[in-house]
Amino acid sequence: MTSRWYFAILVLLVLALGATGCAKKKTTSTPPGAQIEVTDDSKWTPPPPPEEPKVDEAALAAEAAERAKTEAVAELTSVTINFSFDSYELNEEARAILALKANIMRRYSDVDVVIEGHCDERGTEEYNLALGERRARAAYEHLVILGVDPGRMSIVSFGEERPIDPAHNETAWAKNRRAEFVVQ
């Protein structure tokens, strides 16, 4: 009887597996020669181009103007005027330099300068202080003639106190006879 039992269980298992078997796949196929029409109902538009970085024109212009002013002020202070021995007369080169300085000062009305008069070591201290003042005043008066507001300039004399070249020869003395411009 046990073998029937086994046989009955085996038959039930086979029937159960057969009833629950794998599901069949459904397939469709298009008959040969049939045409398929594909339509696109979407309204695709390309994305907008990336925005170019905005340039602050006013800031760039202000920066360029400030840079130009800095360069002009550097030019104003970098070039000195030289004088002949025992003289405060402006030569042609000095007048040309003063014309450039006047243009800069007229363009930048907020720039004030001190004109320093200097001498070489020859002569007494009092004489050299007076000569240094006459040299500074000559440059000052020429700038006023060229249209620079006199209220924006002042003068000072250092006489022989601040030589550029401390040597005791004609080359050094020629360098020390000068008028310098210092921006305040």
Long-range contacts of range 68-73, CB-CB < 8 Å, 24 or more positions apart? 69/108, 69/111, 72/104, 72/107, 72/108, 73/104, 73/108, 73/111, 73/183
The domain spanning residue 83 has which CATH number?
3.30.1330.60
pLDDT, residue 20, reads 60
Q: Which residue has the higher pLDDT, 8 or 25?
A: 8
Range of the domain at 153: 70-183
Name which residue leads in pLDDT, 117 or 56.
117
Burial class (CB in 10 A: 0-12, 13-18, 19+), 132: buried
Residue 43 included in any domain: no
Residue 2 lies in a domain: no
Residue 44 has pLDDT above 90, yes or no: no
- Higher pLDDT: 56 or 63? It is 63
- Residue 96's pLDDT band (boundaries 50, 70, 90)? very high
Q: Evaluate if residue 31 carries a pLDDT over 70.
A: no
Q: Tens of pLDDT along 132-159?
A: 999 999 999 999 999 999 999 999 999 8
Task: Centre a 10 Å sphere on the Cβ of residue 94 and count the other Cβ atoms it contains.
Answer: 20
Q: How far apart are CA 158 and CA 156, in angstroms?
A: 7
In a domain, 45, yes or no: no
pLDDT of residue 32: 66
Task: Work out how many domains the chain is built from and give that number.
Answer: 1
Specify whether the CB–CB gap between 105 and 111 falls below 8 A: yes
Q: Please indicate, yes or no, if residue 152 is contained in any of the structural domains.
A: yes
